[in-house]
Chain A
């Protein structure tokens, strides 16, 4: 079942801004002071998505493996930067190890999905690789940020407990086992929850997009299932890798906890 896509013209897009005006009106009425953020957010949505559209057109037309991989790497670098900015704790640096582990695990999962499961030829075919990799990175980025924030927060909050175990002969893995477990769970739960709710509580964006673009809903759901499974897998791999790598970096060469409590809260 296919049908032609109803094209959205510039006037229709402008008409959709009515919703933003309504949101701005509500903000003014209730004194939320969100008008500026709404304006910036709207301009950025338009600009970023138009830019993405042109970039994708260019990449699809050139059909070059290097360009596809460059876009892929660009997305990962930004994902790591976003993760870093979201984490309140700044005492431990993890940009490079996270970049390397994210690149390896995303490349592996994206290759398995496009090259092996979907069977795209070549495996890096931009129409498949870039959107799938984008969804993969975008979703698991949130999970990694949640996991790492939880890990660092717990290690800092439970410093006394960690050091007590270290003093009793535990190595850093044993002393941080509980915090690592909690952090991994925190990262995994949103993607498991969305597997529970998909198709019942919400219709995912990718599937909606495919149906709107004229695809058979039964084909769209298969892609969606693939994406959901891929997301859970990559979230698990990355939460596991990321939490482990960052946890090691929280401890020094003598396996001493490097995260300091807030200023002036500790005995000297």
Chain B
């Protein structure tokens, strides 16, 4: 096996000559080629409107490139059913969204989907433990999710995603609505998952990264290009 092959095998996502354009606009990305390494911790940065959110949406097939190919674990995207792919590459939107119902109902909602039916539904004990880990100890499982604050909903959405045991976590400004303490708790959880479980992390953030437990890799998006910088 050649070294190049080993490198390919170690990537979770590969962009090959990907061009993306919003209809009637100039291309946002042209012939983009890059790799996301499995188990790495990335921070995606760049000016507003540069395409950071679109980059995450391309990885989860919420947007489709006009040309080029994106691969997951060295297989073309088309070889996975979109729901299965999205559950593996879990994207949590910038605007956290919950349904009308209790906290428990919201957390367990993904388990009602056909493609998730093989997953074991967690018990209330596990749900409570995860909520505590993101400083949601005051939130009861029977509380109405829509009555929570934006910051609480943001953390609830993170917990809901983690329950699906994804292989990669794509977060769009996950701490934007959080106070310093809660933001630190969320980042600590994400770091722990990266270090202990090898979960690949990709975070879009404007904030500077102040933790020293992990040395993140930076992807800087500017003028249609994405470059890795240290």
Contact = CB atoms under 8 A, between A and B. Distances in A.
Contact of B86 (A167, A252, A267): A167
Interface stretch (A118-126, A206-214, A254-262): A254-262
Contacts, number: 82
A168 B113 contact: yes
Interface in B95-122: 95, 97, 99, 109-110, 113-116
Interface in A145-168: 160-161, 163-168
Given A166-B83, A168-B161, A254-B82, A268 B60 contact: no
Interface in A164-218: 164-171, 174
Given A168-B164, A171-B115, A163 B53 contact: no
Given A168-B116, A168-B164, A254-B61, 15 more contacts: A160-B93, A160-B95, A161-B97, A164-B157, A165-B109, A166-B83, A168-B90, A168-B110, A171-B82, A256-B63, A257-B62, A266-B53, A267-B94, A267-B172, A268-B50
Contacts of A168: 86-87, 90, 109-110, 113, 116, 160-161, 164
A266 B61 CA distance: 17
25 contacts: A160-B97, A164-B93, A164-B97, A164-B157, A165-B113, A168-B86, A168-B87, A168-B90, A168-B160, A168-B161, A169-B113, A169-B115, A170-B110, A171-B115, A174-B114, A252-B64, A253-B64, A255-B61, A267-B53, A267-B172, A268-B50, A268-B51, A268-B52, A268-B53, A268-B54
A254 to B, nearest CB: 4
The size class of the interface chain B forms with chain A is: 35 or more
A252 B90 CA distance: 19
Given A160-B95, A268-B50, A171 B113 contact: yes
B87 A169 contact: yes
A268 B109 CA distance: 28
- The interface residues of chain A, by DSSP majority, are classed as loop
Contact of A268 (B49, B86, B99, B114): B49
B28 interface: yes
Contacts of B84: 169
A171 B94 CA distance: 21
A255 B161 CA distance: 19
A254 B64 contact: yes
Contacts of A166: 62, 82-83, 86
Contacts of B51: 268
Contacts of B61: 254-256
Contacts of A164: 93, 97, 157
A165 B157 CA distance: 11
A164 B63 CA distance: 14
The size class of the interface chain A forms with chain B is: 20 to 34
B15 interface: no
Pairs A-B, 6 closest by C-beta atoms: A169-B87, A254-B61, A168-B110, A267-B53, A164-B97, A255-B82
B77 interface: yes
B54 A174 contact: no
A87 B54 CA distance: 29
A163 B172 CA distance: 14
B56 to A, nearest CB: 10
Contact of A169 (B50, B52, B53, B83): B83
B2 to A, nearest CB: 32
Contacts of A163: 62, 93
Nearest to A161: B97
Centre residue among A164, A166, A171, A253 by max chain B CB count within 10 A: A164
B92 interface: yes
A103 B67 CA distance: 38
Contacts of B97: 160-161, 164
Contacts of A170: 83, 110, 113, 115
B98 to A, nearest CB: 8
A268 B25 CA distance: 13
Centre residue among A164, A169, A253 by max chain B CB count within 10 A: A169
Interface string B69-98: 000000001000011101100111111010
